[in-house]
Structure 1
């Protein structure tokens, strides 16, 4: 398994600025080759760290989450990573070694390591290795529900979590770090896998917002009315009700990191 990450750097001056990047009222497609050094941010409270902020709440578009790709130099990190006490987070390590401490308990994560970090907890993160640490981070304000307990922190890995294959096929499945029926959670960060030739056999159209970061492989992906060729490091950002479908191409598995908001009543005010 591989876990793509922004390439950084800067293209040479003989490379023409032709690209596939597009922003529409229904979706955005942000190719990997746009995620270069000049679009990184340095985060308050972090040392030796830079981040690609590839999604943020936008009024009238996708409003529930922010998605980062974060790179930390050896010894860098943060003692207070999250400035918003109402925000929960999920992390997937792409490369390197992470020491993650949640409410006083330390965890060591490597590529494929996953963590859920509840809102309001005390946590810290450092690069405990000798090479850059690269990870994906999704932030969302937690929406409590009456009579439902708040979720607790946990750490696991992609490798230790089985793929749940869709009915009647072994070519399309989801690695679910949280069970869909667990109403404590108001968001999911899953990994979706398509074996070569696998597909979504209908145009999904639903209320959930999506961030889809391609970790591995290639596919043709339907975004609203457009079929787009996608590959490692590409990002798809979908507002609610944007039609989508997928046809895996190539000779290796097509896998992407998927965010969606779930398990809560819809607010009836704008």
Structure 2
């Protein structure tokens, strides 16, 4: 497997300004070429760390989640990474070998490692490797519901999660689900969706879930609202609820992306914000 990741740096003065970045009322595309050194953020409680913030709640746009690509220098990390006591999180590693600590247990992570971290679990992370470590940090406030408690933390790897093919596709379109759909304690999912070359989403999906899609591998043409947009490994797409979406996988290899969606809660009748 390969995992697209930011290259950092800064383009030369000779480079044209024209690019693929776009922000609309229905969707945004943050291409890999704009994830440079000058758009990173630093966060309290972290050392030797920087992050590319790809998504954050914005009134009138996407509402539920934050997604950050964190980069840790050797020795970097945090013993108190989360400042919001109500936030649950998923970590997905795309580079390096960070160590995740849950209580007294240390988990050696590698590219493809996945961890679910419920609110209040007191997780810690440190890069004990010789090179940089990169991972997606996807955060959402856990939404209580009658009879449900926050899920337990777990750590796994995508290699241990089987692909679930979509009906009628002969496996050309499949999803790796890290959490079962009937576990209602989880109020968001982060899955990996894969398409073989030439596979398609054959209709314009239109649904209540909002999405963050980070392309891990390959390329495709994605339909976002009224537009067709070319995307490739390292690009990020942010879709608000009900934005029509479809895609054609462009080949020559698989097209794979990390997909966030909010699930398993009755829509609130309180106005956002």
Settle same-fold status: TM greater than 0.5: yes
CA distance in 1, matches of 2:137, 2:108: 16
CA distance in 2, matches of 1:241, 1:248: 22
Aligned to 1:124: 124
Q: Is the 8 A contact 2:142 2:150 kept in 1?
A: no
CA distance in 2, matches of 1:163, 1:198: 15
**1:48 alignment counterpart:** 48
* Cα-to-partner distance string for 1:192-239 (whole Å, 9 max, x where unaligned): 000111110100000000000000000000000100010011110000
Deviation at 1:149, TM superposition (A): 2.9
Query: Are residue 213 (structure 1) and residue 214 (structure 2) matched?
Result: yes
Deviation (angstroms), 1:104: 2.5
Partner of 2:265: 264
Cα RMSD, aligned residues only: 0.7
Structure-2 residue corresponding to 1:147: 147
* Aligned residue pairs, count: 270
1:153-172 equivalences in 2 (<5 Å): 153-169=153-169, 170-172=171-173
Give the Cα–Cα distance (whole angstroms) in 1 for the partners of residues 224 and 64 of structure 2.
Answer: 19
Distance in 2 of aligned mates of 1:251 and 1:77: 37
Moved over 4 A (4+): none
2:73 alignment partner in structure 1 = 73
1:202 paired residue number: 203
Aligned partner of residue 33 in structure 1, secondary structure: helix
Alignment of 1:1-270 (within 5 A): 1-169=1-169, 170-270=171-271
Secondary structure at 1:38's aligned position in 2?
A: helix
Instruction: Give the CA deviation at 1:103.
Output: 2.5
Structure 2 stretches lacking a partner, 5+ long? none
Q: Distance in 2 between matches of 1:235 and 1:62?
A: 14
The 1-side partners of 2:237 and 2:119 are apart by: 26
Q: Secondary structure at the match of 1:203?
A: strand
State the distance in 2 between where 1:150 and 1:103 align: 17
- Give, in whole Å, the separation in 1 of the partners of 2:248 and 2:126: 38
Q: Do the aligned residues in 1 keep the contact of 2:119 with 2:150 (CA within 8 Å)? A: no
1:217, 1:262 → 2: CA distance? 27
Provide, for residues 60-118 of structure 1, a one-character-per-residue CA deviation record: whole Å limited to 9, x for no partner.
10000000001000111000010101000001100110110112221111010000000
Report how far residue 123 of structure 1 moved.
1.0
Q: TM-score when scaled to structure 2? A: 0.98
Deviation of 1:153 (Å): 0.1
